[in-house]
A and B are shown apart, each in its own frame.
Chain A
């Protein structure tokens, strides 16, 4: 119990330490005229409220119901996303990779945390974590099992390591039982994990 108490206090003081250091750095950078705190507020708000996986889900849902859009997305996802009036303009080199009955795609950045912010928002902690970065390229089935995903034994798993400024979004397979669904309803079952490759869309979950 005493040890537990000690650990708790230790963690707490570390947290305070980083809070204080971040606040101090922001103060210094502001006083020197390098940053405007109001601009920082806007940047935080954009990712908390506007830019997230819902943006990517709309592209996927549209690709499911519009074969021309799907072809355009697979040919040049940067252009297709921008032409679709996407909420956050895509700077360059977004690449859409399509899941098929033969191949399942999984995206990772083993070296840091490269992730398609424009379509998925900021990456979750697990994507940036050491377990994911280390295991995705050597034990993708084990990683998928951590997410409760099992694929047929003969499915090829293709891992995309994001080692440059290209960014990847997975186009999952449209699940059966969604034939008459609207684009809006389809977008609701396209989770963030589906577009990284650690999840599959589930119509029954909707």
Chain B
């Protein structure tokens, strides 16, 4: 969802950042299993990357905030395997399979998993030219969709400058809806001054950019 607790840019009160010296990749074996389960099941292509993100964003705020990162991944994954009919609630409760599985489009083999992983490419052919070019002044839309979006609240209805065109990419707002439509859109790097985002008291030395899809933008 859009205005949910995951959208944290600019919030106060979470305290200092606490780097951990010599941090392990996983802090417990179960974290590694959650990471791998998510990627392995994700390879079946049942949901989009943004559909996956949406399932975390819609966790109840108190649970989202009280969970660690991999706990959230796990809770999102549990929701998705039930929602997409891969696993029954009764099976989660029983802790074992109670009926044969569906046929998945793809099951990752150990040989595949041994090869270096490669992230997907989200660029797609475009059906229209980009509306904006580097140097154009744009204003982000005021928008509050009840569904997933990647336009953060702090950067809505703000004026900025297009710095780069990044190609035409799968629309996260559409892909998250499970409509099996990638609805590709031009993607831009749009940069804002700190003062435009945070007001006159903001540090004049800061600039912030977001990666903005064309439907988020109006000509300023």
Contacts and interface: CB of A to CB of B under 8 A. Distances in A.
Interface of A: 15, 18-29, 31-36, 38-44, 46-48, 50-52, 87-93, 95, 108, 110-113, 117-118, 121-122, 124-126, 128-141, 143, 146-147, 153-166, 193, 198
B55 to A, nearest CB: 12
Contacts of B151: 163
Which of B9, B11, B40, B167 is most buried by chain A, counting CB atoms within 10 A of its CB?
B9
A124 B23 contact: yes
A32 B97 contact: yes
Contacts of B77: 25
Contacts of B40: 29, 34-36, 39-40, 43
A33 B107 contact: yes
B8 A133 contact: yes
Contacts of A15: 28
A151 to B, nearest CB: 9
A24 B93 CA distance: 9
B12 to A, nearest CB: 7
Given A43-B113, A93-B167, A156 B206 contact: yes
Interface string B100-121: 1110100111101110111111
Q: Which 7 A-B pairs have the closest CB atoms?
A: A32-B101, A110-B9, A91-B119, A164-B211, A31-B97, A42-B113, A92-B121
29 contacts: A23-B33, A25-B81, A28-B92, A33-B101, A34-B40, A34-B44, A44-B26, A44-B36, A90-B118, A90-B119, A93-B167, A111-B53, A111-B152, A113-B69, A122-B35, A125-B20, A126-B17, A129-B14, A131-B18, A133-B8, A155-B205, A156-B206, A158-B208, A161-B210, A161-B211, A163-B150, A165-B122, A198-B17, A198-B19
Contacts of B86: 29, 32, 34
B210 A163 contact: yes
Interface of B: 6-12, 14-20, 23, 25-28, 30, 32-37, 39-41, 44, 49, 53, 56, 65, 69, 71, 74, 77-78, 81, 86-87, 91-92, 95-97, 100-102, 104, 107-110, 112-114, 116-123, 150-152, 154-155, 166-167, 169-170, 172, 187, 189, 191, 197-198, 202-203, 205-213
Contacts of A121: 25
Given A157-B206, A161-B9, 20 more contacts: A18-B71, A18-B74, A23-B33, A27-B96, A29-B40, A35-B40, A40-B113, A41-B110, A43-B36, A46-B117, A52-B25, A89-B118, A90-B119, A118-B117, A118-B118, A125-B27, A126-B17, A130-B8, A159-B206, A163-B151
A165 B211 CA distance: 9
A198 B170 CA distance: 30
Contacts of B114: 42, 46
B116 A112 contact: no
Contact of B16 (A20, A89, A140, A146): A146
Given A34-B44, A110-B7, A26 B100 contact: no
A156 B205 contact: yes
Contact of A164 (B27, B37, B97, B213): B213
A154 B205 contact: yes
Contacts of A193: 19
Contacts of B189: 166
A109 to B, nearest CB: 10
Nearest to B172: A164
Contacts of A21: 74, 78
Contacts of A124: 19-20, 23
